[in-house]
């Protein structure tokens, strides 16, 4: 009996200590607030107080503050008597979308949230996204956003002509460099993939003559670096259709050579966003790949001595750039879809979009923003727009979100550290992205 | 009420059960129900990437898949290594520190308070602090080692598999020492001074006093703290995830991190099955301990 009691207590103790804490517990029920009436498909009664929960992520504390002020602006000025409660959640290396999925599947989550459409297929399969088609089609500013953007949004859920998200920001990746450094080394701004590789090699230098590299050509990104990685594959003639093709293997070998040739810091396999930015800003790396979201910070650091060029196509004409997107999605569980859409409109083409653009230089390229003088004269936005010609997104598979947040980094690290051959690695990428 | 009935109530201490009931119900609510849910999910194809309609009972398939999963075995062995290395060194260093702090010296209170800092810092922060300290481009550890002439140039501690794993171990050891120090110090302060006096009069050396007086007197404190620490280290995700995310190339991926990653990717059935296996492994530590404790308490 004593032994049984001991085992019983041990079970309780171990269970208690091993109980997994669920993430996203802070999520409040969608539609939280005094309003409980079902209004789906109906017009919200004006004047009635409505409360919405809004989730978002922010890359920096400045962006966090800015988002709060945007929400405060909406709360103060909207005519539907809506109060938006903004809740910031961690980007978590791309797992934001998955974290939200767990919260929503568990009956919680927000009414409206920032989103990446790489997760749209997964959310749509679960029936968690509100179909905004009628609201979008009746929106006077729909035409202010490019048709190609709306097509991408429809494509993300495999529902032609239907929209489950609203565009918030789009930008392409490009290469930040220091003009003074290029001038010193007599390097012209690369116009082809081949010239870009040569520039990376030339910029790798031992500046103090001690036999060790002090400046690396490129700060290669580990976790979160899947989009630049794909550029190398595409520039060598590969496509997403077959990640095990000869061209894909060649592209991966070129990508790996940046690390194995010592043109990137030794820490590259694990360098995340903050590390690659620190490398560039400290002068340890001559170039870094990121988007316009870093441009304000770069200008603050270097003043005039920072510029950008788009990821160039190869001499054979193979080019690809990542279209980095952020959308707004309304959850199907919300009790106030029209109020949530009103907030989405404010964010997409209203004052919210303007404020975000002014603070971060990120936008959804809508007509009003594109016509602004500070948009037209911004060299980084111009470079970002140049990349749109050959910009694309990862395939919308159910595995895409996991591929981005976890498996890509793990496979890449194993290839860079010679634990996997390039051929084996490409097979693993394929399996990870498309499933068995 | 008959005399027999009254005696039965007294015998079974019904009042005691009533008092325990709220605590027991709370445990059921926060431990047994989630655990039962995890057990059910482990027998299902609970992969939310494919939507809720894909959830179906699949029997032991998740477990079968786990035993064929190389990542499971490597994570499991790494967890075992981490527990052995980290808990052993935490214990040895914590014990030494407790012995030191049990002696009277000027400023002892301040030293005791400062010694607790690693334990009170949140795990997320511990991970981030050490990640930057070990950084291969700007880390203070590299700076010190280079200035001391131990390294020629900066080394990417967290970018290479072996050094990343040992960097994580160092972090865990640093974090766990105060816990052992505190538990053992509490035990040491409960040992009557006259026992040491008697041992000294009998001619026991310092080493003999440690082996034959100190350790037997605090063996319960030691076993409780070792058991708790084994369970905590084996379950820890926050430090590793913030330092390395389980990389590079899965080199620091322990079973708990693997469970977290699988759950994060929404394969909840598979991660539940992994969690149950981890729990079973930890039961191997907890059950013998509890049995032994009960035996010793009942003589």
Q: Considering its fold, how many domains does chain A have in total?
A: 2
pLDDT higher than threshold 90 for residue B240: yes
The reply to whether A30 falls in a domain is no
In a domain, A266, yes or no: yes
Q: What is the mean pLDDT of residues B225-238?
A: 93
Q: Are residues A316 and A331 both part of a single domain? A: no
Q: Looking at the partner chain, which of A7, A23, A223 has a beta carbon nearest the beta carbon of B245?
A: A223
In chain A, positions 98-157, which contact chain B (CB-CB < 8 Å)?
98-99, 101-102, 105, 122, 125-127
CB A394 within 8 A of CB A122: no
Q: Please indicate whether, in this complex, the C-beta atoms of A19 and B30 are within 8 angstroms of each other.
A: yes
Q: How confident is the model at residue A10 (pLDDT cuts 50, 70, 90)?
A: low
Structure confidence at residue A31 (pLDDT): 32
The rounded distance, in Å, linking the Cα atoms of A416 and B119 is 36
Is residue A2 one of the residues assigned to a domain? Answer: no
CA gap A202, A356 in Å, rounded:
37
Which bin fits A47, alpha (ψ -120 to 50), beta or left (φ > 0)? left
Indicate if A406 and A290 belong to the same structural domain.
Answer: yes
Taking alpha carbons only, the member of A73, A138, A68, A113 closest to residue A346 is: A73
What is the per-residue pLDDT across A362-402, written as a single tens digit (0 to 9) for each? Answer: 999 888 998 899 998 899 998 988 887 788 888 878 788 78
Long-range residue pairs from A415-421, CB within 8 A, at least 24 positions apart, any chain: A415/A252, A415/A256, A416/A256, A416/A259, A416/A260, A416/A268, A416/A269, A417/A269, A417/B160, A417/B161, A417/B248, A417/B249, A419/B161, A419/B249
| Same domain assignment for residues A218 and A126 | no
Q: Which of A121-130, A135-144, B45-54 has maximum average pLDDT?
A: A135-144
Query: Do both A135 and A165 map to the same domain?
Result: yes
Average pLDDT over every residue of B100-114: 88
**Averaged pLDDT, A89-101:** 84
State the complex-level ipTM.
0.78
For the segment A271-330, what is each residue's pLDDT rounded down to a tens digit? 999 899 999 999 999 999 999 989 989 999 999 999 999 999 999 988 888 888 899 999
Q: Are A71 and A81 in contact (CB under 8 A)?
A: no
For chain B, domains (ranges, CATH) are: 69-297 (1.10.3720.10)
Regarding whether A272 and A409 lie in a shared domain, the answer is yes
Residues counted in chain B: 299
Q: Is residue A387 part of a domain?
A: yes
Do B76 and B282 touch, CB atoms closer than 8 A?
Answer: no
- CA atoms of B170 and B157, how far apart (whole Å): 12
What are the chain B neighbours of A402 within 8 Å (beta carbons)? 49, 264-266
Tell whether A251 and A343 lie within a shared domain: no
Amino acid B299: pLDDT:
54
Average pLDDT, rounded, for chain B:
90
CATH number at residue A422: 3.40.190.10
B232 contacts: CB under 8 Å, gap ≥ 6: A17, B176
Contact with chain A for residue B36, Cβ under 8 A: no
- Separation CA A231–CA A254 (nearest Å): 11
For range A231-253, the mean pLDDT: 94
**Of A70 and A18, the one with more pLDDT:** A70
Chain B residues touching A105 at Cβ < 8 A: 48, 52, 266
Confidence of residue B256 (pLDDT cuts 50, 70, 90): very high
Range of the domain at A257: 174-322+394-434
Give the chain A residue nearest B283 (alpha carbons): A14
Q: Average the pLDDT over each of A18-27, A411-420, B8-17, B247-256 and give the range with the smallest value.
A: A18-27
Say whether both A289 and A363 belong to one domain: no
Looking at the fold, whether A253 and A347 belong to one and the same domain comes out as no
Reply yes or no on whether the pLDDT at B177 is more than 50.
Answer: yes
The C-alpha atoms of residue A248 and residue A232 are separated, in whole angstroms, by: 9
- Confidence category of residue A41, pLDDT binned at 50, 70, 90: very low
Q: Scanning every residue of chain A, which has its alpha carbon at the shortest distance from the alpha carbon of B162?
A: A417
Has residue A12 been placed in a domain?
no
Whether A1 has a pLDDT exceeding 60, the answer reads no
Q: Which long-range contacts (CB under 8 A, 24 or more apart) does A67-70 make?
A: A67/A356, A69/A355, A70/A347, A70/A351, A70/A352, A70/A355, A70/A356
User: What number of other Cβ atoms are within 10 A of residue B154's Cβ?
Assistant: 21
Contact call for B291 and A279, based on CB within 8 A: no
Could you say which of B266, B283, B295 has the minimum Cβ distance to residue A11?
B283
Place of tokens 């003074």: A180
Judge if A178 and A264 occupy the same domain: yes
Domain assignment present for A16? no
Same domain, A201 and A165: no
What is the distance in angstroms between the Cα of A213 and the nearest Cα belonging to chain B? 10
> Which tens digits make up the pLDDT trace of B26-60?
998 998 899 999 999 999 999 887 777 788 999 99
Q: Is residue A54 part of a domain?
A: yes
Say yes or no: A406 contacts chain B, CB-CB below 8 A. Answer: yes
pLDDT digits (tens, 9 = 90+) for B262-287: 988 888 999 999 999 999 999 988 88
Same-domain check for residues A77 and A149: yes
- Whether residues A149 and A188 fall in one domain: no
SS (H, E, C) chain A: CHHHHHHHHHHHHHHHHHCCCCCCCCCCCCCCCCCCCCCCCCCCCCCCCEEEEEEECCCCHHHHHHHHHHHHHHHHHCCCCEEEEEEECCCHHHCHHHHHHHHHHCCCCCCEEEECHHHHHHHHHHCCECCCHHHHHCCCCHHHCCHHHHHHHHHHCCCCCCCCCEEEEEEECEEEECHHHHHHCCCCCCCCHHHHHHHHHHHCECCCCCCCCCEEEEECCCCCCHHHHHHHHHHCCCCCCCCCCHHHHHHHHHHHHHHHCCCCCCCHHHCCHHHHHHHHHCCCEEEEEECHHHHHHHHHHHCCCCEEEECCCCCCCCCCEEEEEEEEEEECCCCCHHHHHHHHHHHHCCHHHHHHHHHHCCCCCCHHHHCCHHHHCCHHHHHHHHHHHHEECCCCCCCHHHHHHHHHHHHHHHHHCCCCCHHHHHHHHHHHHHCC
Residue A219 lies inside a defined structural domain of this protein: yes
């Amino acid at each position: 009996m004593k032994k049984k009691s001991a085992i019983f207590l041990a079970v309780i103790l171990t269970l208690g200590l091993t109980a997994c804490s669920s993430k996203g517990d802070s999520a409040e029920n969608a539609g939280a607030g005094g309003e409980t009436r079902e209004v789906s498909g109906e017009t919200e009664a004006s004047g009635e107080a409505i409360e919405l929960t809004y989730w978002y992520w922010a890359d920096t504390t400045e962006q966090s503050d800015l988002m709060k002020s945007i929400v405060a602006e909406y709360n103060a000025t909207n005519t539907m008597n809506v109060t938006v409660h903004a809740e910031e959640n961690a980007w978590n290396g791309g797992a934001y979308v998955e974290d939200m999925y767990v919260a929503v599947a568990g009956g919680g989550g927000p009414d409206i949230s920032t989103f990446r459409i790489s997760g749209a297929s997964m959310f749509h399969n679960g029936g968690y996204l509100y179909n905004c088609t009628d609201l979008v089609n009746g929106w006077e500013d729909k035409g202010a956003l490019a048709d190609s953007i709306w097509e991408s949004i429809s494509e993300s859920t495999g529902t032609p002509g239907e929209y489950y998200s609203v565009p918030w920001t789009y930008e392409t990746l490009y290469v930040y460099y220091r003009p003074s450094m290029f001038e010193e080394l007599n390097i012209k701004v690369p116009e082809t993939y081949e010239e870009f590789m040569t520039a990376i090699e030339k910029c790798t230098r031992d500046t103090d003559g001690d036999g060790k590299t002090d400046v690396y050509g490129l700060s290669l990104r580990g976790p979160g670096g899947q989009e630049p990685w794909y550029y190398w594959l595409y520039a060598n003639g590969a496509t997403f259709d077959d990640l095990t093709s000869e061209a894909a293997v060649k592209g991966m070998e070129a990508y790996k050579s940046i690390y194995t040739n010592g043109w990137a810091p030794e820490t590259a396999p694990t360098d995340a966003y903050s590390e690659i930015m620190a490398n560039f800003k400290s002068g340890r790396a001559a170039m870094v790949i990121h988007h316009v979201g870093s441009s304000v910070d770069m200008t603050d650091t270097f003043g005039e001595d920072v510029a950008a060029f788009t990821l160039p196509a190869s001499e054979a004409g193979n080019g690809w750039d990542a279209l980095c997107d952020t959308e707004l999605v309304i959850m199907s569980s919300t009790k106030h879809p029209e109020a949530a859409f009103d907030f989405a409109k404010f964010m997409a083409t209203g004052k919210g979009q303007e404020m975000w653009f002014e603070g971060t230089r990120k936008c959804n390229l809508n007509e009003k923003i594109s016509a602004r003088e500070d948009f037209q004269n911004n060299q980084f936005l111009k470079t970002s727009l140049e990349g749109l010609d050959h910009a694309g997104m990862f395939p919308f598979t159910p595995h895409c979100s996991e591929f981005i947040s976890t498996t890509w980094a793990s496979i890449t690290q194993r290839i860079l550290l010679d634990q996997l051959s390039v051929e084996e690695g490409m097979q693993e990428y394929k399996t990870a992205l498309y499933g068995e | 009420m008959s005399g027999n009935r009254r005696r039965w109530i007294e015998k079974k201490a019904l009042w005691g059960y009533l008092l325990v009931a709220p605590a027991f119900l709370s445990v059921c609510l926060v431990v047994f129900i989630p655990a039962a849910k995890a057990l059910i999910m482990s027998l299902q194809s609970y992969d939310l990437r494919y939507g809720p309609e894909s959830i179906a009972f699949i029997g032991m398939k998740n477990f079968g898949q786990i035993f064929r999963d190389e990542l499971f075995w490597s994570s499991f062995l790494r967890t075992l290594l981490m527990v052995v290395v980290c808990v052993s060194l935490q214990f040895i260093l914590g014990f030494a520190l407790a012995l030191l702090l049990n002696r009277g010296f000027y400023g002892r209170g301040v030293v005791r308070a400062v010694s607790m800092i690693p334990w009170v810092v949140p795990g997320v922060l511990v991970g981030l602090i050490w990640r930057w300290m070990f950084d291969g481009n700007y880390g203070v550890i590299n700076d010190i080692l280079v200035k001391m002439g131990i390294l020629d140039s900066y080394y990417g501690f967290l970018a290479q598999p072996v050094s990343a794993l040992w960097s994580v171990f160092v972090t865990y050891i640093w974090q766990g020492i105060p816990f052992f120090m505190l538990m053992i110090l509490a035990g040491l302060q409960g040992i009557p001074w006259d026992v040491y006096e008697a041992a000294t009069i009998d001619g026991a050396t310092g080493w003999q006093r440690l082996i034959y007086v100190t350790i037997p007197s605090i063996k319960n404190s030691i076993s409780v703290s070792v058991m708790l620490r084994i369970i905590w280290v084996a379950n820890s995700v926050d430090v590793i995830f913030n330092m390395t995310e389980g990389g590079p190339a899965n080199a620091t991926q322990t079973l708990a991190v693997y469970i977290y990653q699988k759950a994060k990717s929404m394969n909840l059935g598979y991660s539940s099955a992994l969690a149950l296996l981890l729990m079973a492994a930890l039961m191997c530590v907890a059950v013998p301990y509890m049995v032994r404790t009960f035996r010793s308490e009942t003589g």
